[in-house]
Structure 1
């Protein structure tokens, strides 16, 4: 069994050494479709309680400092803004106002009055309003001790295992954030949802006091969890950058067309590489090498952005030459073609009413694909 495992590892290493990988920067569609006429969003904090006294009551009940969650709200907004900056979809503006609405029951308040939505979107010259209307966080700390071992030197300088008592502190943080997205023009609530995020932190030391000192604070934990929700929400409403990886064949080197095309691809000369592999197909009588060249041609066309030809050549590599990777790759390309159709719809600019209304919305043009080469 051991010999078989070693053999399989060696086979995997040998197989990977005959391929080189290339990364493609592209976009992942948003989880929901936002109307195209919405190009900009105002962010507003609506977590102020209806009466200041309620905030004091909540602090007594939960053990939180008064308005302690305010930093968490700002952390979510900051994370959301930073994430949306790398997407071509929206411009975002943070409102200076803090609106009242949150209730101690933890449920959504009544929606904002549309006159108030109109006032804020007009003031900040945006098309929609995104409000955080629920924000609640908790952080529970437990502690204890346990036996552990460590390596030390004895009197003779030899390394030995020593048992000692280790103290630990564990913090469990969770946040609950309610978000509403208002369409100012059509006067509809596009999205309303509550997001929860949880995480456990631990610190250990030779004393309980030191372990507690090393443990993350509640405010730091709340910020971290709120930032995670901000990243999640950005992906829900806007196409976000992703990197996909593809691998192409570089061997056998005895096939001069396959190896030359691989060298051209490695220096980003994909058009030339495709022509070299196509020439090799006309000359080659080796079905395996031909399948690899056809597969590489499919990779090349995807890199160049021609998904139709990439799909055609992936299928050809499998059907005509028996290259097994071609079948699964054709399926991957088909999924990308569907994804591109969704992206085209989500990034389509609305018909401008006048030149002055278009502003800087040309930024919605899809970004050029950037290629980063790396060896396996």
Structure 2
């Protein structure tokens, strides 16, 4: 009984601490620069396909021949869809004068089940000169693996009267894994980008026999092509800035203005809350003044004033000793660097 009371007291204490938290969470949308940057003069970009089914994958390819009407063409069709997805994204961006999917580059080594060696500078220059390109994307490999599981299951079939009754049958489960690798080259420069993607999906069906179950899974090729197109499209987005949600914390306890400011912030009246926080900058207690300075950094970041936010966060730590402000200061400084990169990208 004593142990039970001790546990109860511990949980009560934890609940009290959580309910009395000095901070609240908020989220905001911020802009981030593109993770991959090409030279400003890149206007004509080519896309090549170095992928082909690997020797190790021929066993699965034979399964493909049974499972889908496309058979051995599954990897080929998936690779074509991936190339088209990338081309669609690059054209949609409106950044490039030319986006060319090259039909054939027989002089380049093909990829097997993993990334082949990167293209040499001589190969990159040769292809770019031959087709009048400034940069080159490569689908370095594309591979699908399928795990097949066949089990006994009850299926419903209509009898002579049209009433469905359970009879012994089969369940077919197919897990298809799709892997693809991409590289991005510019003549005379180091490898600009390298990414590997992996996705999978499950398809299941029942039938009196495996062949009947298989008939309902004839759209597997379309699923592979759809996923491959989306992966190529997503990879092209690495050249574009993005908008992401980030989390922050702000102080809501310490004095009455903080409590009132919390209520205002929860209704979206952030500037009104900031006027209350500003009143506490001259509070006789350093802890309260430090929280006020920290919150002033928050409102300036919300309003897009990164330089002012950095100044307030720095004051909150250096003048008032608020340790949370030092971590926040690093976040803001990183945002400043990203903002500079973003502005440079947008000005091109």
Deviation at 1:112, TM superposition (A): 5.8
Q: Which runs of 5+ in 1 are unaligned?
A: 122-126, 148-164, 350-376
User: 2:139·2:182 contact (CA, 8 Å) conserved in 1?
Assistant: yes
| 8 Å Cα contact 1:76/1:223 also seen in 2 | no
Aligned to 2:191: 191
Determine helix, strand or coil for the equivalent of 1:277: helix
RMSD: 4.6
Moved more, 77-86 or 331-340: 77-86
Measured in 2, the distance between the counterparts of 1:268 and 1:72 equals: 51
1:100 maps onto 2:112 in alignment: no
TM-score by length of 2: 0.65
| 2:137 match | 131
Aligned residues: 309
Q: Does 1:25 align with 2:30?
A: yes
219, 233, 237: which is aligned to 1:234? 237
Deviating more after overlay: 330-339 vs 205-214: 205-214
**1:343 corresponding residue in structure 2:** 342
User: Do the aligned residues in 1 keep the contact of 2:90 with 2:96 (CA within 8 Å)?
Assistant: no
| Counterpart position of 2:161 | none
1: CA distance, partners of 2:235 / 2:301: 28
2:142 aligned with 1:143, yes or no?
A: no
Seen in structure 2, the aligned counterparts of structure 1 residues 120 and 263 have a Cα distance that, compared at 3 Å, is farther
User: Following the alignment from structure 2 to structure 1, what is the Cα–Cα distance between the partners of residues 304 and 234?
Assistant: 28
Distance 1:143 1:2, change over 3 A: farther
**Per the alignment, do residues 14 and 77 of structure 1 end up closer, same or farther by CA in structure 2, a change over 3 Å counting?**
farther
SS at match of 1:98: coil
Contact map agreement 1:167 1:206 (CA 8 A) in 2:
yes
User: Which residue in the other structure is 2:179 paired with?
Assistant: 175
Could you tell me which residue of structure 2 aligns to residue 263 of structure 1? 264
User: Taking structure 1 as reference, are residues 105 and 229 closer, same or farther at Cα in structure 2, changes over 3 Å only?
Assistant: closer
Secondary structure at 2:45 match in 1? strand
Deviates more, 1:200-209 or 1:292-301: 200-209
> As a proportion of its length, which structure holds more helix?
2
| Structure 1 or 2: more strand by fraction | 1
Deviation at 1:23, TM superposition (A): 0.5
The 1:130–1:222 alpha-carbon spacing in structure 2 relative to 1, beyond 3 Å, is same
Q: Is the alpha carbon distance of 1:28 and 1:115 closer, same or farther for their aligned partners in structure 2, counting shifts above 3 Å?
A: closer
* Alpha carbons 1:178, 1:192 under 8 Å: kept: no
